[in-house]
Amino acid sequence: MDNDLQRKNEENPLNFVKIVPDDQPHIWILNDNLCLTECENKPCTYVCPSRVYYWEDQSIKILHTRCIECGACIWGCPYENINWNYPRGGYGICYQY
Amino acid sequence: MSERYDAIVVGAGPAGSAAALTMAQNNISVLLLERGQYPGSKNMYGGNIYSLPTAQIIPAFWEKAPWERKIVTEEIWFLNRDSAVKAGFTGLRFGKAPYNKFSALRPKFDSWFANEAVRAGAILRCNALAIDLIWDKIGLVAKKVDGIILDSGEEIRADVVVLAEGALAFLAQKAGLRKPLMAHSYTHYVKQVFGLPREKLESRFNLEKDEGTAIGMVGFATAGMIGKGGLWTNKETIGISTGGYLSQMVTKGLSPLHLLNRLTSHPLIKRLLEDAELLEYKSHMVPKGGYQKIPALIDHGIMVCGDAAMMISGRRGTDLAMLSGKAAGESVAEAHAKGSYTKDILQTYENKINHSFFLQDIRNGKASKLYYEHHPDSDYLLTKLINELAYKFFSVELKSNTELMQDMKEIVINLQPMDKTLKDLYHGIFNWGVF
């Protein structure tokens, strides 16, 4: 499965989505400390289909303009530590097919 | 001066547009709100709309709706690493009116559907995200919904608000109608759409003009998770998706994108996508809470339908959304005639849903859901089993038939206790049933 792994790291799913970026974020971590001290696996970093979340410098970083609005992170977070809202009307994901 | 309508519908998906269309046909002034740039711009589904339910809303819709292909072939694949046991059916009768299923692209279909509501008199407003409800006092303690607030702060008033806001249902939660769900109450799907020239697609899937095929997949497609893969043929595109219970993705450490790439790299899937160009990637969740998690459908001046009301049974969701939207629209028309939108008047909607065929299915589905919560490996084990059996069955070996039968018996016995296999199979048949 070496090939798979390579693809996993190289692929960029965002080449195949149209997103109208909103300069106002629509996602927040409620308590950064919880991610650091309680959350072992950090599921937000892998259940998110477009990799909005990543772990760096002891905290979860959020790239909200990558979000394709499935909402998986809201319930995927074992500590309900993500405050997720829809982007403003007209912004965000805009599917063509 | 703020506008006032008889009704506001939140969300111009299948449920919302069906509700708005039904109301507009009954001369009710209705505002249909869509947070995306156009209806369907935020949506993803499997890939098929169902003819009979859709024709309940718009008779003979196939004469004008933007569908892609009429589905005449359906298959289910039990996919293992390098093999697949396939069951399928081709019914050419499904290629003639009144048809059975159509493949359709949501941005096109939803835009058309919402436009039908507009043609009947509804007002469609896109780029409009409703973030809160307006409550008015109607007694000492009782409150009634009297409109919505947009993300711009603008207030719009209406006698009744119909929530067709989709799976995440933030407003239904805010209104106290829907309890927050957990990860095991959602299935999470990702999908890729590939472009392939028409002639190539038709010859590859053995289709005549306008005919389509739909393939459901269990086993390899979900990497040991309870869920399904699917493949749908459109005019010049192929949709392929996979997913399963969000809770299992979390505990098994599965990345949905990786899962989908793994599926499209499978040797039996890869050949179907050869030379096809990746056009789009999408993701969506389906509320699979089952009967117990269905929200309260009504309160004073407010109703919930579609995914927000968890009107999901097996693969069916888009059509149940339409049917529940229509029922909501009819109840609004009745309430309008009576001049009141209190809970007891809107009760007719709840009654209609309670007596619908699909609520019966949702009710019956709860045993299966519970089973899979406790036996998340059952699909994987069954798929492995029947593929091993098939390899044995079709292999040409230097053994007598009696010896071969003995080998096959051993494969079954060695997998797991026999009664567990039978139970897995029993629940599987219900779960795979509706594709």
Residue B2 has pLDDT above 70, yes or no: no
Specify the length of chain A in residues. Answer: 97
Tokens representing residue B63 in the block:
């004469």
- Taking the C-alpha atoms of residue B379 and residue B13, their distance in angstroms, rounded to an integer, is 32
- Taking the C-alpha atoms of residue B131 and residue B129, their distance in angstroms, rounded to an integer, is 6
Q: In angstroms, what separates the C-alpha of A94 from chain B's closest C-alpha?
A: 5
CB contacts, 8 Å: B127 with chain A: 89-90
Give the pLDDT band (50/70/90) at residue A10: low
A70 touches chain B (CB under 8 A): yes
Closest by CA to B262, choosing from A66, A8, A78, A71, is: A8
What was the pLDDT predicted at B283? 97
Averaged pLDDT score across all residues of chain B:
93
What is the span of the domain harbouring residue A68?
A: 34-97
Mutate to test the interface with B, among A9, A70, A81, A88 (most CBs of B within 10 A): A70
User: Tens digits of per-residue pLDDT, B56-104?
Assistant: 999 999 999 999 999 999 999 999 999 999 999 999 999 999 999 999 9
A56 touches chain B (CB under 8 A): no
- Asked if this assembly's ipTM is beyond 0.85, the reply is yes
User: Tens digits of per-residue pLDDT, B339-392?
Assistant: 999 999 999 999 999 999 999 888 887 777 778 778 888 888 899 999 999 999
- Taking the C-alpha atoms of residue B303 and residue A95, their distance in angstroms, rounded to an integer, is 28
CB contacts, 8 Å: B279 with chain A: 16, 96-97
Residue A34 has pLDDT above 90, yes or no: yes
Query: Domains in chain B and their CATH numbers?
Result: 3-66+105-181+290-364 (3.50.50.60), 186-287 (3.30.9.90), 370-431 (no CATH)
Q: How many CB atoms lie within 10 A of CB A39?
A: 17
Of the partner residues B44, B170, B188, the one whose CB lies closest to the CB of residue A95: B44
User: Tens digits of per-residue pLDDT, A36-73?
Assistant: 999 999 999 999 999 999 999 999 999 999 999 999 99
Tally C-beta pairs within 8 A across A and B: 136
Name B211's bridge partners: B70
A7 touches chain B (CB under 8 A): yes
CB contacts, 8 Å: A13 with chain B: 257, 281
B286 within 8 A of B307, measured Cβ to Cβ: yes
- Determine the average pLDDT of the residues in B145-172: 97
Number of domains in chain A: 1
B278 touches chain A (CB under 8 A): yes
* Nearest chain B alpha carbon to A80: B182
Are A16 and B126 a contacting pair at CB < 8 A? no
CB contacts, 8 Å: A75 with chain B: 181-183, 185-186, 246
A75 within 8 A of B181, measured Cβ to Cβ: yes
The pTM of the full predicted model, rounded to 2 decimals, is: 0.94
Q: In angstroms, what separates the C-alpha of B124 from chain A's closest C-alpha?
A: 14
B318 within 8 A of B10, measured Cβ to Cβ: no
Based on DSSP, count helices (H) and strands (E) in chain B, helices before strands. 15, 17
Give the pLDDT band (50/70/90) at residue B313: confident
Q: In angstroms, what separates the C-alpha of A19 from chain B's closest C-alpha?
A: 10
Mutate to test the interface with B, among A27, A86, A94 (most CBs of B within 10 A): A86
CB contacts, 8 Å: A51 with chain B: 257
Residue B435 has pLDDT above 50, yes or no: no
Q: Between the CA of residue B433 and those of A5, B73, B334, B366, B388, what are the distances in Å?
A: 34, 15, 37, 15, 22
- Taking the C-alpha atoms of residue B9 and residue B23, their distance in angstroms, rounded to an integer, is 10
Name B286's bridge partners: B187
Q: Report yes or no on A92 lying in a domain.
A: yes
CATH number, domain of A76, equals 3.30.70.20
End-to-end, the C-alpha distance of chain A in Å comes to 31
Are B255 and A90 a contacting pair at CB < 8 A? no
B220 touches chain A (CB under 8 A): no
B74 within 8 A of B88, measured Cβ to Cβ: yes
Closest by CA to A32, choosing from A4, A70, A66, A58, is: A58
Closest by CA to B392, choosing from B408, B415, B410, B413, is: B408
Of the partner residues B126, B129, B188, the one whose CB lies closest to the CB of residue A72: B188
Q: What are phi and psi of B113, to 5 degrees?
A: -65, -45
Q: Report yes or no on A51 lying in a domain.
A: yes
Q: What percent of chain B has pLDDT over 90?
A: 80
What was the pLDDT predicted at B180? 83
Q: What are phi and psi of B232, to 5 degrees?
A: -130, 140
Q: What are phi and psi of A10, to 5 degrees?
A: -90, -35
Mutate to test the interface with A, among B33, B37, B194 (most CBs of A within 10 A): B37
Residue A1 has pLDDT above 50, yes or no: no
